[in-house]
Amino acid sequence: MSTTNPTHDLACTALSKSFGSVQAVDNVSFDIPPGSFFSILGPSGCGKTTLMRMIAGFENPDHGDIQIKGRSVIRIPPNKRNVKMVFQHLALFPMMNVYDNIAYGLRCVGASRKEIDQKIADVLERVALPDVAKREIHQLSGGQKQRIAIARCMVLNPDVLLLDEPLGALDLKLREAMKIELKLLQHQFNTTFVYITHDQSEALVMSDNVAVMNEGRFEQIGTPQALYHHPASAFVAGFVGDSNRWTGKVIDAGNNNVRLSCDAGFDAQSHTTDTITLSRGDNATVYVRPEHIQVDTQVNADNNNQTDATNALTGHIDSLLFNGANSRVLVRDKAGELIEADVTLTGSSHDPKPGDLVRLSWRSEQALCF
């Protein structure tokens, strides 16, 4: 047993697990500093649930090591690991009331009655539900159940709390509220939360660090800002946030700049990351976020009135997706493809309307090519 790095609450090294011929988790390594909110973001079936179940001890990894507070837990059964889990459907025990649900774990470790009473009152206070101890589970609302499920784990002072998409079953409004609340709870308890989700907005809003997972591998680990603005791979660029994408052939490359002849019939200038090496003739895809595309309604028929933008297209607005401050237009270009671009709608008569001819432009540093 190595005790190398006690500065990490949770560290996984070269973790692998396969089911038959399916490689569910493939050589995953990461470590999480104490007291941080870490998310694992990936599409369903990417192996994130398997990864979490290995940390909790319900699955055994084929290779690799899991360390909690610097101690390997590979041979420790799930009920002896100080890792608690909030399950997808919460798994509150319906035949017990709130008090007994929270007391269950304390009784398992043999706490005294007085201690149990004290700790339950304490933890219910912290999740802001001081008066529900005697209630039955079915009398709680969705958000309250959520908080009780967290309280049931936190009362045991875990080193790491795992959360398996616990917001999935809630309706949209509650989900938005719970995102903020979870983040606040994590701050309050100052415990490491590992949150797995397929919902990028949950991951981006709550996390200190996010790992993007795809087909059993970690594509990138970084802060939400880093993932969003500097995706390391095409998968991350496409999965995190919205993007317009064009495929094409590289006609010129060098110095982190690429010129692409797009299949849609225009040339695009884009930058690229250090890790990607593209050369002339390669197939590549360029990603541009909707908020980076500038929409101009004043278009003269022939000119490309020069802005600092290096990329420009014209097209007609196909439809307007009104959503207050986050409104968006769908523009159909000459090739007939739809391009998404964010617009600010002021409610005046100058707002773009469906059918308008518009010019879309973006700078090459705002485009990313893989």
Partner 1 sequence: MAGSRAKDAKKLALILLFTPFALWITLLILLPHVGMMVLSLKEKVAPRVYEYGFDNYINFAQEPIYWNTLLRTGSVSLLVTLLALLIGFPVAYYIAKIAGNRTKGALFLLCLIPLWVSDLIRAFGWILLLRETGVISSALQASGLIDTPIEFLYNDATVIMGLVYTVVLFMIVPLVSTLDGMDNEMIEAGYNLGGNGFTVLRRIIIPYAMPGIVAGCIVVFMLSAGSYLTPILLGGKNSSWFTEQIYDQFISRYNWESGAAFGFVLLVFTSLVVWLGLKLSGQTLSSTVAKS
- Which residue from 153, 178, 194, 341 is in contact with partner 1, where contact means CB under 8 A? 153
Q: Is 95 in the site for partner 1 (CB under 8 A)?
A: yes
Cβ-Cβ contacts under 8 Å for 189 (sequence gap 6 or more) = 126, 154, 161
Identified binder of partner 1 from the candidate list 6, 43, 94, 130, rule CB under 8 A? 94
- Cβ proximity of 285 and 243 under 8 Å: no
Q: Which residues contact 49 (CB under 8 A, 6 or more apart)?
A: 164, 196
Place of tokens 């990603």: 287
Looking at the Cβ atoms of 49 and 200, the one nearer to partner 1 is: 49
Answer yes or no whether residue 48 interacts with partner 1 by CB under 8 A.
no
> 140, 18, 161, 11: which is closest to 83 by C-alpha?
161
Q: What one-character DSSP code corresponds to residue 2?
A: -
Nearer to partner 1, 166 or 216 (CB): 166
CB nearer partner 1, residue 156 or residue 339: 156
104 sits near partner 1 (criterion: CB under 8 A): yes
Asked if residue 143 binds partner 1 (CB under 8 A), the reply is no
- Binding partner 1 (rule: CB under 8 A), the pick from 24, 85, 129, 369 is 85
* By the rule CB under 8 A, 99 interacts with partner 1: no
Give the nearest distance from C-beta 52 to partner 1 in angstroms: 11
Tell me which of 18, 65, 96, 176 binds partner 1, using CB under 8 A.
96
Instruction: Report how many residues bind partner 1 under the rule CB under 8 A.
Output: 25
Scanning 33-41, 84-92, 239-247, 293-301 for contacts with partner 1 by CB under 8 A, the matching segment is 84-92
Query: Which of 192/220 has CB closer to partner 1?
Result: 192
Q: Could you tell me which stretch among 82-90, 178-186, 225-233, 308-316 binds partner 1 (CB under 8 A)?
A: 82-90
| 109 scored as a contact of partner 1 (CB under 8 A) | yes
CB of 18 to partner 1, least distance (A): 19
Name the minimum Å distance from CB 158 to partner 1: 10
Q: Helices 142-154 and 98-108: crossing angle, nearest 10°? A: 20
Rounded Cα distance, 201 and 242, in Å: 11
213 binds partner 1 (CB under 8 A): no
Return the structure tokens found at 367: 């485009």
Touching partner 1, residues 50-79 (CB under 8 A)? 56-58, 77-79
Stretch that binds partner 1, among 10-18, 93-101, 173-181, 206-214 (CB under 8 A): 93-101
- Terminal-residue alpha carbon distance, the chain: 41
List the one residue out of 77, 76, 116, 81 whose CA is nearest residue 99: 116
Residue 179, H or E segment: helix 172-189
- Exactly one of 16, 76, 87, 256 binds partner 1 (CB under 8 A); which one? 87
Give me the residue label for tokens 């970084």: 222
Q: Which is nearer to partner 1, 20 or 77 (CB)?
A: 77
Positions in the binding site for partner 1 (CB under 8 A): 56-58, 77-80, 83-85, 87-89, 91, 93-96, 104-105, 108-109, 152-153, 156
